[in-house]
Structure 1
């Protein structure tokens, strides 16, 4: 099973549904209330995937979006973040992919996609 994880700053209600509706074959997600945990499902190339939104990540301004399934529309967190950025035009962050459990978080660099472009930054 694959999983992709991105973080969306100041997520607007129904923004994730609007984005994913154009990427998936089918979507069942009620994200009208962006202040609570939301769980949903979707289908991509006939494979079911789970969608979870966790508000309040990293200083409360970010919502974690987690996609899990056998087939996903993107191969990496960065590809997923780029797609979300094109749709929502708000700051998106994701792991660069080389972090491993146990690595110090304070030194970790994340991809930040925003109006300034794509940059690797320390989260703070």
Structure 2
């Protein structure tokens, strides 16, 4: 089932490579300058605008990359993580499943790690 938005986590040192990859592989990318730890922008894919927000230090050295649209090329966070890992060759993290306010997940710290060696679930105790 297609998620209403997509969020993945990537190490901060790979953000420039990510934005270059998105621009060349997905569609034109327009980014505003950094506003402290946040950078907003939009991708254009098949005439659709996909709002994008990058938040540095969202989880230690990991940045949150949020595509605020259901018109992304990926149906799920996992699909996006796989594509970015394949494109950049870097570890990408995402939630194991989607998230909704109605969801009552007993273990909200379960995450998926996508690397060139494969995929594995782990417990990520994120600290603010």
Q: TM-score, normalised by structure 2?
A: 0.78
C-alpha RMSD of the superposition = 2.4
Change (3 A) 1:13 1:65: closer
Aligned pair count?
120
Change (3 A) 1:80 1:98: closer
For structure 1, the 5+ residue unaligned runs are none
Which position in structure 1 is the counterpart of 2:65? 65
Which position in structure 1 is the counterpart of 2:81? 81
Which position in structure 1 is the counterpart of 2:109? 108
Change (3 A) 1:89 1:69: same
List aligned pairs for 1:1-124, cutoff 5 A. 2-29=4-31, 36-58=37-59, 60-101=60-101, 103-104=105-106, 108-124=109-125
Q: TM-score, normalised by structure 1?
A: 0.80
Instruction: Please say if residues 24 and 44 of structure 1, whose CA atoms lie closer than 8 Å, have aligned partners that are also in contact.
Output: yes
Change (3 A) 1:100 1:25: closer
> Which range moved further: 1-10 or 38-47?
1-10
Q: Alpha-carbon deviations, 1:1-49, whole Å to 9, x = none?
A: 9310000024335222112113333211268x7x831111111111111
Rounded to whole Å, the distance in 2 between the matches of 1:53 and 1:98 is 19
State the Cα distance separating 1:110 from its structure 2 match: 0.8
Rounded to whole Å, the distance in 2 between the matches of 1:73 and 1:38 is 21
